[in-house]
Amino acid sequence: MPGQTSATIDVPSCRVPVWLRCDVLVCGGGCAGVTAAVAAARRGCRVTLLERWPTVGGMATNGLVNAWHRSDREKVVINGLVEEAAERAARHGWIRRDRNFPHAHETHWFDPEGMRLVWQRLLDDAGVTTVCHLAAGEPLVTDRRLVGVLCDTAQGRRALLADIVIDATGDGTVAAKAGVPWQMGRADDGRVQGMTLTFSLRGIDEDAVARVPHEKVHQVIDAMAEQARDGRLPPFNDGNMRGSFTYWGAPNHMIWNVCPVAGNPLDELELSRLNARAHEYVVQYLDFLRTHMPGMAHAEINQTAFALGVRESRRIEAGTQLTANMVLGAAKSAEAVGHGVWMVDIHDPEGSGHTTFSDPGEHHRLRLGTSYHIPLGMCLHPDWPNLGVVGRCAWSTHQAHASVRVQTHCMVMGQGVGTAAAMALAGGVPMRAVQLPLLQQELRRDGVYLEDVPKPA
């Protein structure tokens, strides 16, 4: 790569001023980080949340990923702070139920702009100190304890000190830099799930689209798929493209989840190229649809996501690894902090746009009416007593990750770990030493659905 080098330089040591001190420092303001921060703050902890982007919400707001999965296809089993956020959003018309509620995993669709405000208000009401425009930098480590992080602010490098650090960065950046082991991608080649640039359109003639027979829709998309196979069009998510017309009717401002790219999300050079490529893809899709799909002649881009939707990067090792057998077998755990329902939904790491969501059969789904437990141990490493890891960087296999990575499941982790952090500080013990029955009791009091929990061995 032109300009890259293996040379090194010496960075002189310096004194760094301490900027903030807190009980719990949450690094990352996506949905997992928000719930972790709120849960800890509501129990009296002084909490600081760092978010690298201008607003909180992560991929749900800045990435336009607006679907929640809360049901086992018979009943809703994910509540707690997820339900509270939904109720707050509903007061303003910022969320709606899926037409098949509750008999589909996808229970709700929300307005990302509205949810941005919902989560910020949750943080403010809980007394969390929220700092946006600032990424967590190098972790400060003493004898496998994180005492805080360094941050490169506009005023220079500063230190933030904390008794407990929760890594909600998505990429597991803080934990990895501290030296906690991690894995990435598929076992055979390390490739991670494909990424997606989401976008919305305007200028669609919705009445004309509604009159298009489904047969005609499939003919157009078949032709689009043929051109993609021939290299005349970029790859796209065929299943979601068809659903955009046949299920939703392609209304204006609907968020399209059809634009795949694949590569290493930890390589900023590559990520930059992929992001630019994805924006080119959207224009090419639109040119085709304007020409071939009735009602789309005057469609134009309304909005693109702030960043690519990264589904998978580092998975930080912890005490319990969630596996595909645990997911598909609806395994129950004595260390449960909530339930998970989503299928093993792998987006092709080669970038074709294919996802197991569109595969026929039920081999990648949980049985109807069942759910698995999300264990606290997948977020806590036994050798790092004051570090929690929540969200898509928690400890799972590549296959299990494809289920537990979705927002509602990450929020379950966040609420569980945030509650455990507060209890650990109150009791003067490491997070892993918090008594599980007491933790689960507190979570239930806060509205978390927790059923069929085995007794600890």
The two three-digit tokens of residue 434, written as one number: 């918090």
- What's the mean pLDDT in 12-32? 95
Q: Are residues 59 and 144 in the same domain?
A: yes
Q: Are residues 58 and 175 in the same domain?
A: yes
Q: Are residues 123 and 227 in the same domain?
A: no
**Number of domains observed in the structure of the chain:** 2
Q: Are residues 150 and 38 in the same domain?
A: yes
Q: Is a pLDDT exceeding 80 seen at residue 457?
A: no
| Amino acid identity for residue 423 in this structure | M
- The band of 362, judged by pLDDT with boundaries at 50, 70 and 90, is confident
pLDDT, residue 456, reads 81
Span 129-180, pLDDT tens digits: 999 999 999 999 998 899 999 999 999 999 999 999 999 999 999 999 999 9
Q: Does residue 98 form part of some domain?
A: yes
Scan for tokens 């081999």, then name that residue.
363
| Amino acid identity for residue 341 in this structure | V
The two three-digit tokens of residue 183, written as one number: 């894995």
Helix residue ranges per DSSP H, 313-406: 324-328, 398-404
Q: Is a pLDDT exceeding 90 seen at residue 81?
A: yes
What CA–CA distances, in Å, run from 395 to 182, 319, 409, 420? 8, 8, 13, 17
pLDDT, residue 1, reads 55
Q: Are residues 155 and 37 in the same domain?
A: yes
Q: Are residues 361 and 417 in the same domain?
A: yes
- The band of 208, judged by pLDDT with boundaries at 50, 70 and 90, is very high
- Arithmetic mean of pLDDT over the chain: 96
Q: Does residue 261 form part of some domain?
A: yes
Please report, for the domain that includes residue 43, its CATH number. Answer: 3.50.50.60
Q: Does residue 4 form part of some domain?
A: no
Q: Does residue 3 form part of some domain?
A: no
Of 288, 304, 320, which marks where a domain is finished?
A: 304
Q: Does residue 146 form part of some domain?
A: yes
Higher pLDDT, 267 or 12: 267
Q: Does residue 264 form part of some domain?
A: yes
Which residue range(s) make up the domain with 200?
195-304
- The band of 359, judged by pLDDT with boundaries at 50, 70 and 90, is confident
Of 304, 332, 365, which marks where a domain is finished?
A: 304
- What's the mean pLDDT in 266-284? 97
Q: Is a pLDDT exceeding 90 seen at residue 330?
A: yes
Pick from 248, 231, 245, 258: which is nearest to 347 by CA? 258
Angstrom distance (rounded) from CA 27 to CA 36: 10
Q: Is a pLDDT exceeding 90 seen at residue 280?
A: yes
- What's the mean pLDDT in 183-208? 96
Of 264, 281, 304, which marks where a domain is finished?
A: 304
Q: Are residues 143 and 246 in the same domain?
A: no
| Amino acid identity for residue 403 in this structure | S
Q: Are residues 232 and 290 in the same domain?
A: yes
Higher pLDDT, 11 or 322: 322
Angstrom distance (rounded) from CA 223 to CA 391: 38
Angstrom distance (rounded) from CA 147 to CA 202: 49
Q: Are residues 145 and 199 in the same domain?
A: no
Q: Are residues 115 and 180 in the same domain?
A: yes
Q: Are residues 65 and 150 in the same domain?
A: yes
Q: Does residue 50 form part of some domain?
A: yes
Q: Kindly report the backbone phi and psi dihedral angles of residue 14, in degrees, each rounded to the nearest multiple of 5, phi listed first.
A: -155, 165
Q: Does residue 5 form part of some domain?
A: no
Q: Are residues 145 and 205 in the same domain?
A: no
pLDDT, residue 2, reads 60
